[in-house]
């Protein structure tokens, strides 16, 4: 029965909508395959330019983030500095904070009205508006850089100290890096880069915040806004995005080995004493990165407490009223977020658990293909999925409430759940694999039925893992603006991320929008910290500063 439910879910909310969307872009009104739409797309220089720009910006962001992360990871590895679990988790913050917040924060300083932007205009005659595409690329690279750094650090640290020391005996720095560090780090680097590529390609809010529209995602969005969901060109653009994402992901699979994704270095080897030199290196690099991001987000942080701030380096006076406004006026969006993301995350955990179980039980040959298929879901961009839903569910009425399904909020959590599914499957797989088979066999021999064994033995042992999966999916859904911007039927149904976006677009709402953004970031950090305590299950182990920042004491 569970597998039937799984099949219905995947067919209804993934295979059929995406399939229909692809057909919509490739067929004419009579349902015959024609190349007319492709010709039309290629004949329009705006779309060709958007395609090239999207490829360039996504690839550029992935390469830039890798170029920035590699030397830092090398230094940390060379000096045996292993970040703590908390710092590693913070590396995953970019997945839970929308990049447009960083874009708007930097715009406050460097934009036309910003203090530094004015300085550039006055002294260098440089208009910040001309930095459209490069600024998108830079912001995406900066946003996803911690993710690349941490996946790289985690994969290279997932080998014990002795192995590292053995490798360093008799090897020079360059040889050590090229022969040991890079091959070890390749899976993490490939994973981080491919996630950066996919997320950048799919990002809708960041380019729109910066006024950039000559990219695929904004073009698809603009076409749906202008011509409606049945527009074949928007389907074709969305299909193009699915194809590019799919190719990028499957190209990276060769380098990303399945076991690497969420491996935690600190759990692999025992803690070691950190020397003074290691502490200095660690604090310099990790502290430097922290300072950089604190400065980058300072724009939003200061706006959230600024009464008046224009044409000056810092606000003239400060208030806390934006927070009160945000909490009062955006209560609805908080509730919406909790409802949509909570629903999507619960669904993800249930579906993810069933799929992880199915993959676990599958014969070895199937296992590999199923795992690839499950992670391949990552390559369905939010914009494409939203367009697919709008087309597939158009006009279908919900029986009891007599409302069209595409005019209700229902599609939004379903899109969130499909987008979060690969992460849920991975988290559930790791959790399932963590339960030794002999634990269940011991219970089998004791004479209990399957259901009681699941309830009394398996489920309690999976609690933390399932909670991690829930938080992961919840966080990912909370920042998924690409689907939300297309699927929200009205502003009253908006989640927090959309409200931040809307508020930040207007001068009067900027304070409240910034306050909302800061509150969201604080909530995400708190959730990560809760995760850390859950993983360690002991507050004392994280209460010392050294253990808080580094693995080791």
172 binds other proteins (CB under 8 A): no
Q: Which two tokens stand for residue 447?
A: 């004479």
Going from the C-alpha of 255 to that of each of 13, 192, 261, the distances in angstroms are 30, 11, 11
* 172/460 with CB nearer other proteins: 460
- Token pair for residue 363? 């014969």
- Is the CB of 49 or the CB of 441 nearer to other proteins? 441
Number of residues engaging other proteins in binding (CB under 8 A): 15
Per-residue exposure over 4-38, b if at least 16 CB sit within 10 Å of its own CB, e if not: eebeebbeebbeebbebbbebbbbeeeeeeeeebe
Please calculate the CA angle 468-474-475 and round it to the nearest 5 degrees: 90
CB atoms < 10 A from the CB of 363, how many? Answer: 7
With binding defined as CB under 8 A, does residue 456 bind other proteins?
yes
Nearer to other proteins, 458 or 502 (CB): 458
Min dist CB 464 to other proteins, Å, is 10
CB closer to other proteins out of 112 and 452: 452
* 455 is an interface residue for other proteins by CB under 8 A: no
Q: Using CB under 8 A, which of 168, 264, 444, 541 touches other proteins?
A: 444
Which residues ranging from 422 to 441 are in contact with other proteins (CB under 8 A)?
436, 438-439, 441
* Residue 353: CB minimum distance to other proteins, A: 18
Q: Write down the H helix ranges in 79-160.
A: 85-91, 93-96, 99-110, 115-119, 132-157
Is 451 one of the binding residues for other proteins (CB under 8 A)?
no
Among 447, 508, 540, 543, binds other proteins (CB under 8 A): 447
Cα separation, 501 vs 505, in Å, equals 6
Nearest distance in Å: CB 456, other proteins:
7
Least separation in angstroms between residue 161's CB and other proteins is 25
Q: Give the span between the Cα atoms of 139 and 149, in whole angstroms.
A: 16
Q: Are 47 and 237 in contact (CB under 8 A)?
A: yes
93 is a site residue for other proteins (CB under 8 A): no
Q: Residue 115 in contact with residue 123, Cβ under 8 Å?
A: no
Is residue 457 involved in binding other proteins (CB under 8 A)? yes
- Minimum distance from residue 458 beta carbon to other proteins (Å): 10
| Dist CA 117 CA 102 (whole Å) | 16
Beta pairing partners, 306: 318
Tell me the closest approach of the beta carbon of residue 404 to other proteins, in angstroms: 47
Query: Could you give the CA distance from residue 256 to residue 194 in angstroms, rounded to a whole number?
Result: 9
165 binds other proteins (CB under 8 A): no
What lies within 8 Å, CB to CB, of 334 at 6+ separation is: 496
The token pair at 110 is 């460097």
Under rule CB under 8 A, residue 461 binds other proteins: yes
In the numeric block, the tokens 């230094």 are attached to 75
Q: Which of 367, 448, 536, 546 binds other proteins (CB under 8 A)?
A: 448
**Closer CB to other proteins, 170 or 460, in the complex:** 460
Residues 125, 121: Cα–Cα separation, whole Å: 4
Q: Is 445 in the site for other proteins (CB under 8 A)?
A: yes
Which of 211/436 has CB closer to other proteins? 436
- Closest approach of other proteins to the CB of residue 548, in Å: 24
CB of 352 to other proteins, least distance (A): 22
Site for other proteins in 8-67 (CB under 8 A): none
Residue ranges in contact with other proteins by CB under 8 A: 436, 438-439, 441-448, 456-457, 460-461
């Amino acid at each position: 029965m569970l597998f039937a439910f799984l099949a219905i879910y995947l067919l209804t909310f993934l295979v059929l909508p995406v399939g229909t969307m692809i057909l919509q872009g490739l067929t004419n009104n009579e349902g015959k395959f024609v190349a007319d739409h492709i010709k039309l797309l290629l004949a329009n220089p705006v779309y060709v330019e958007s395609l090239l720009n999207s490829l360039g910006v996504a690839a550029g962001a992935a390469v830039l983030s890798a170029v920035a992360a590699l030397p830092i990871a090398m230094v940390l590895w060379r000096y045996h500095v292993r970040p703590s679990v908390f710092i590693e988790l913070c590396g995953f913050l970019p997945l839970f904070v929308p990049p447009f917040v960083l874009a708007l924060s930097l715009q406050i300083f460097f934009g036309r009205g910003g203090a530094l932007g004015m300085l550039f205009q006055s002294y260098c005659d440089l208009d910040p508006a001309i930095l459209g595409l490069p600024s998108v690329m830079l912001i995406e690279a900066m946003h996803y850089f911690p993710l690349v750094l941490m996946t790289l650090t985690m994969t290279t640290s997932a080998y014990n100290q002795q192995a590292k020391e053995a490798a360093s005996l008799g090897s020079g720095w360059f040889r050590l890096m090229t022969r040991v560090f890079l091959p070890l780090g390749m899976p993490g680097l490939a994973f981080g880069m491919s996630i950066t590529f996919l997320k950048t390609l799919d990002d809708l809010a960041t380019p729109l915040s910066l006024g950039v529209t000559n990219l695929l995602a904004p073009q698809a969005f603009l076409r749906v806004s202008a011509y409606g969901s049945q527009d074949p060109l928007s389907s074709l653009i969305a299909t193009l995005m699915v194809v590019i994402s799919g190719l990028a992901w499957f190209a990276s699979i060769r380098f990303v080995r399945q076991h690497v994704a969420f491996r935690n270095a600190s759990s692999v080897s025992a803690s070691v004493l950190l020397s003074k030199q290691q502490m200095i290196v660690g604090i310099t690099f990790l502290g430097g990165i922290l300072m950089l991001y604190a400065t980058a987000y300072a724009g939003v942080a200061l706006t959230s407490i600024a009464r008046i701030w224009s044409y000056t380096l810092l606000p003239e006076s400060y208030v806390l009223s934006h927070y009160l406004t945000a909490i009062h006026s955006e209560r609805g969006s908080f509730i919406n977020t909790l409802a949509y993301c909570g629903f999507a995350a619960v669904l993800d955990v249930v579906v993810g658990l069933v799929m992880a179980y199915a993959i676990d039980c599958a014969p070895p040959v199937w296992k590999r293909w199923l795992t690839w298929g499950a992670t391949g879901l990552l390559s369905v961009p939010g914009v494409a999925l939203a367009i697919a839903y709008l087309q597939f569910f158009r006009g279908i009425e919900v029986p009891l409430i007599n409302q069209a399904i595409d005019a209700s909020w229902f599609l939004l959590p379903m899109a969130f759940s499909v987008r979060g599914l690969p992460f849920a499957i991975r988290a559930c797989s790791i959790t399932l694999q963590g339960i030794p088979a002999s634990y269940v066999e011991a219970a089998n021999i004791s004479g209990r039925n399957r259901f009681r064994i699941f309830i009394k033995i398996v489920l309690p042992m999976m609690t933390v893992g399932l909670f991690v999966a829930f938080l992961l999916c919840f966080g990912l859904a909370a920042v998924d603006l690409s689907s939300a911007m297309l699927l929200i039927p009205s502003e009253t149904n908006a989640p927090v991320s959309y409200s931040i976006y809307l508020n930040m677009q207007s001068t009067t709402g900027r304070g409240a929008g910034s306050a909302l953004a800061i509150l969201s970031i604080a909530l995400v950090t708190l959730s990560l910290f809760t995760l850390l305590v859950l993983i360690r299950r002991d507050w004392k182990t994280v209460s010392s500063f050294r253990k808080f920042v580094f693995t080791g004491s």
